[in-house]
Amino acid sequence: MPKITPFLWFDHQAEEAANFYVSVFKQAKILSVSRSEEGSAFTVSFELDGQEFIALNGGPVFTFTPAISFFVHCKTQAEVDHYWDSLSEGGEVEQCGWLKDRYGISWQIVPDILGELLADPDPVKAQRVNQAMLGMIKLDISQLQAAYDGK
């Protein structure tokens, strides 16, 4: 288990959000729920693809910002589409593969090939890929590859 666990402060939706995230990721589960005397969730521990998270119902004191985001590595366009469609439902889409989900958490849905293409030693190819990415909302592997190939 990693030594660092993201701790997410929600107003009152911690359990709802944890259940939503667990429904989106294939390798995911609720680990535990601590409840108040009234029965509502106080903290929810859950795991997404081996990464533990803790969600807290802490009240409206703090809100999420895009200054912190979760980067989802995707091998295929089908994975990009799945995570993009699921996490953006009820949220806001942004540029370059970024979105804000219905709870205000920012996510980056990124195909692994993007890093490879941007790291190409040929600066012309890498710049074409960068320009293509900057023009996208949801990242599209075939368009990134076409830019890399100069098509």
Residue 111: strand pairing partners = 74
Q: What is the CATH number of domain 64-151?
A: 3.10.180.10
| pLDDT of 64 | 97
Domain 1-63 in CATH: superfamily? 2,3-Dihydroxybiphenyl 1,2-Dioxygenase, domain 1 (3.10.180.10)
- What's the chain's Rg over C-alpha atoms? 18
- The total number of residues shown for the chain amounts to 151
> pLDDT by residue (tens digit) across 12-58?
999 999 999 999 999 999 999 999 989 999 999 999 999 999 999 99
Predicted TM-score (pTM) of the model is 0.94
The ranges assigned to domains in the chain are 1-63, 64-151
| Beta-strand pair 98-100/92-93 | antiparallel
pLDDT at 2: 66
Report the share of the chain in percent with pLDDT over 90: 96
- Give the pLDDT score at 113: 98
**pLDDT reported for residue 33:** 98
Q: Tell me: the pLDDT tens digits for 60-112?
A: 999 999 999 999 999 999 999 999 999 999 999 999 999 999 999 999 999 99
18 vs 55: CA distance, rounded Å: 7
